Structure formats: structure tokens, C-alpha cells
Structure 1
Amino acid sequence: MGDHISYKQIRNRECDFIVSYRFFSLEEGGRETSPTQGYRSDFMYSGDENIKQLWMIWPEFLDSENNVILDKSTPVPIFGKAKMWILNESLHEIHAERIKIGLKGYFVEGPRKTAECEVIQIVHLNLK
């Protein structure tokens, strides 16, 4: 499967923001298996459940020492921190107005919420 190449290296910049996250258990409607690094869920703002908007904001998971996990063969922790990357740079302004410390959101796969998250740090998002 190989090692993960950090999005910082690919995109030549810092992430947009950082979240703390917790994947839902199967009983809560979560995934049957834990994802690995490279998981390409989407992001949903809390309160936007009735809006059918795909934002293309991907997580990049961190280990317990806040380093990007490079091993793509091992499941990521059920809870922890993730760097978040807005792929559509033309939407940075919209997200810069919405993303704030303490904002709640979700990792989603289509209409299904797989994890809850909270913004804990703004990094590159407000630098535009």
C-alpha cells in the first residue's frame, strides 16, 4: 500500500484548519471498519444536515505527537486530531467566514455521518 505523502508536500502549503475528531461506533451509525490515512470523507457543518453541499474538505490524521500518520496500512485512531484541507481553493472565502474555533462538524460519506469533529485551530484558512 505504501506510505502516505503529506498533503503539505503535495499542495506546497499548510493545512487550512485542525480538528479534534471521534469516529462513531457501528451502533451510532458509523463505519464497519476504521479508515486508514488517505480517507477522503467530506466535511459537513453542524446544522447543515438538510443542505446537500459537497465541500471537498479532507482530513489528514495526526498521531499522538501531532505528526502526520504516514503508514497507510494501519487504521487511524478512533479519536484524535486531523489537519483539514480545503481542496477547492476558490471556496476559501466562504469557509473563512464559517470556520471558527469551537465550530462543530462531521466527517461524512454521502449522507452518512461517520465522525464528529470540532475546530481547535485555524492555520492557513485566514491567510488568503
Structure 2
Amino acid sequence: MKDSIDKNGFDRIHDFVVEYKILSESEGGRRALPSQGIKWDFCYENPNHASNHLFMIWPQFVDKYGQVIPQSGNPVPSTGKARMWIVDNKMRKYHKHKIHLGLKANGMEGPNVVANYLITEIAGLLTNPVV
């Protein structure tokens, strides 16, 4: 997955990978599927985290072959995998100690859960620079 370096404006590899499910409007989620480039906030699905603890960890959706889906304006699939990027370098140390395989989290639009995540792979989280 080295091709992920600098694909999201960062000079490093993505931090981790999630399996995602985008919630439909009837599930309390989105009216329409998003396109590549959506900048959802990330929220840990944990009773010890208040729902207002949102973090700038953004998804980059990949296809079934692990290749980045182009920013074509077309919607991404409702389920699949996404590479995740921790945006704020000052928060890397915090997340480095929280994120692990099997962790559940959510993609958020304001206070609304729009996607469910399951962390399935740790990539550059442990080796990318920590500020």
C-alpha cells in the first residue's frame, strides 16, 4: 500500500484501514452516498468517550483491489474499505495509544453518525512521525 503516500496531501503512508458501512437516511445517516474526498470527523465508539469528542481523521475510500477510488464525483460504495489519515499531527501521539485492531468507531457529520468503522489494519500509525 505504498501508493498511499501523498495521495491525500500528506507526505507519509495512511495511518490505518477500516471496513466501513455508510448509514442510509432510514438508519439515521445520509440521504445520498458521498464521493471520494469527504472529510468526516472520526469518533471513537466507546462509552468512555463523549459524543462531542470528534477528531480530524479522514477516510480515503479504496476499491476491492485496494486501489484509491478516483475523485470523479461519483458516489463511493455503501460498504467497503477506507484508508484513514490522522490530519492533526499534534494529536498523533494521542491516537497512537487509542487505535488498535478490532476497534469500532464512527464517521460523523456534526453530531450525526453517518458511517460505522471497524479497524482492520494498522499501517503507518506506529511509524509515521509523531509531533
Using structure 1 for the length normalisation, give the TM-score: 0.90
Instruction: Please name the residue that 2:90 is paired with.
Output: 90
Instruction: Please name the residue that 2:6 is paired with.
Output: 8
* Superposed counterparts of 1:1-128, under 5 Å: 8-9=6-7, 10-47=9-46, 50-127=50-127, 128=129
Residue 78 of structure 2 aligns with an amino acid whose one-letter code is I
* SS of match in other structure, 2:90: helix
Percent identity over paired residues? 37
Gaps of 5+ in 1: 1-5
* SS of match in other structure, 2:126: helix
Shift of residue 25, structure 1, vs aligned partner: 1.6
Q: Distance in 2 between matches of 1:37 and 1:113?
A: 18
Shift of residue 47, structure 1, vs aligned partner: 1.7
Q: Distance in 1 between matches of 2:85 and 2:58?
A: 5
Instruction: Label 1:89 to 1:46 Cα distance change in 2 as closer, same or farther (>3 A).
Output: same
Shift of residue 43, structure 1, vs aligned partner: 0.5
Q: 1 or 2, which has the higher helix percentage?
A: 1
Residue 95 of structure 1 aligns with an amino acid whose one-letter code is H
Instruction: Label 1:7 to 1:24 Cα distance change in 2 as closer, same or farther (>3 A).
Output: farther
Residue 6 of structure 2 aligns with an amino acid whose one-letter code is K
Say which is worse superposed, 50-59 or 30-39, in terms of deviation: 50-59
Question: CA offsets per residue over residues 2-24 of structure 1, 9 Å max, x none?
Answer: xxxx7724211100100000011
Contact 2:57 2:87 in 1 (8 A): yes
Q: Distance in 2 between matches of 1:7 and 1:88?
A: 17
Q: Distance in 1 between matches of 2:31 and 2:12?
A: 33
Q: Distance in 2 between matches of 1:76 and 1:7?
A: 21
Using structure 2 for the length normalisation, give the TM-score: 0.88
* SS of match in other structure, 2:55: coil
* SS of match in other structure, 1:90: helix
Shift of residue 32, structure 1, vs aligned partner: 0.3
